[in-house]
């Protein structure tokens, strides 16, 4: 899976909105 802290940091760089962060980062991390 992913580390929640790293997940939020990476996601926030692209999508500040928490909902988008979840969607984008989960896909980003799997890619």
pLDDT(31) > 50: no
Q: Which whole number is the average pLDDT over 7-24?
A: 55
User: How far is residue 14's CA from residue 16's CA, in Å, rounded to a whole number?
Assistant: 7
Give exposure, 1-31, as e/b (b: 16+ Cβ within 10 Å): eeeeeebeebbeeebeeeeebeebbeebeee
pLDDT at 1 over 50: no
When the pLDDT of each residue in the chain is averaged and rounded to a whole number, the result is: 54
| Residue 10 binned pLDDT confidence (cut-offs 50, 70, 90) | low
Q: Is the pLDDT of residue 21 over 50?
A: yes
Confidence of residue 24 (pLDDT cuts 50, 70, 90): low
**Better-predicted residue by pLDDT, 1 or 22:** 22
């Amino acid at each position: 899976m992913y580390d929640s802290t790293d997940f939020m940091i990476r996601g926030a760089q692209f999508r500040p909105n928490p909902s988008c962060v979840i969607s984008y980062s989960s896909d980003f991390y799997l890619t």
